[in-house]
Structure 1
Amino acid sequence: MMHADLIDEQDLLGQLRSLGFEVSGSAEQACTTVVCGLNETNARALKGLVEKLYTGSATILPAVRQAIDQQLLPGLAQFKQNQTA
């Protein structure tokens, strides 16, 4: 039997919690919460997590990928833009 590595909403929430974020709910809700109040340290950790997820061999389920693409990435980009302004 073959097992695929999958990143589902619970996996994402667990990884966000391991970085120190207090999150619950869906992947979209968690990602929205995470990007509020970013600082340099947690933005760097979040960027590393996203890079790890996107370059890893695990399959990211559509709801998780959508939350990352629509919430985390724009939030990180906005944070970076605000830091350089």
Structure 2
Amino acid sequence: MMHADLIDQDDFRERLQALGFAVPPDVTAEQACEYAVRALTPERSMALRRLVEEMLGGHATLLPAVREAISRQLLPALVPRP
């Protein structure tokens, strides 16, 4: 039997909370991203960038809602500005 790591909205929210983002319980992945983007600081930006890279490049499976929220909300917010 295979065991796959699956990252759902709850897992994603918990990971953001572990980085210090104030994300209320029971929000969608899209809403969790909105909370994170509003609270970005240079330090949190680096930590969030590492988390996103780990999640997108790892072996875990992201549920489509989580992957889409990251693509729409977090990736644009994490692009370095000149």
TM-score (norm 2): 0.91
Q: Distance in 1 between the 2:40 and 2:13 partners? A: 17
Q: AA paired with 1:75?
A: A
Q: For residues 74-85 of structure 1, what are the structure 2 equivalents within 5 Å?
A: 74-77=76-79, 80-81=80-81, 84=82
The structure in which a higher percent of residues are helix is 1
Q: What do residues 26-77 of structure 1 show as CA deviations (whole Å, max 9, x unaligned)? A: 1100101111142110000000000010111010110000000000001112
Structure 2: runs of 5+ lacking an equivalent: none
The equivalent of 1:17 in structure 2 is 17
Q: Distance in 1 between the 2:13 and 2:37 partners? A: 14
The equivalent of 2:2 in structure 1 is 2
Does the 8 A contact of 2:21 with 2:39 survive in 1?
no
Structure 1: runs of 5+ lacking an equivalent: none
Cα deviation, residue 4, structure 1: 1.3
Q: Distance in 2 between the 1:18 and 1:37 partners? A: 14
Q: Which has the larger radius of gyration?
A: 1
Asked if 1:31 is matched to 2:33, the reply is: yes
Which of structure 1's runs of 4+ aligned residues deviate more than 2 A?
Answer: none
The equivalent of 1:58 in structure 2 is 60
TM-score (norm 1): 0.88
RMSD (Å) for aligned C-alpha atoms: 1.0
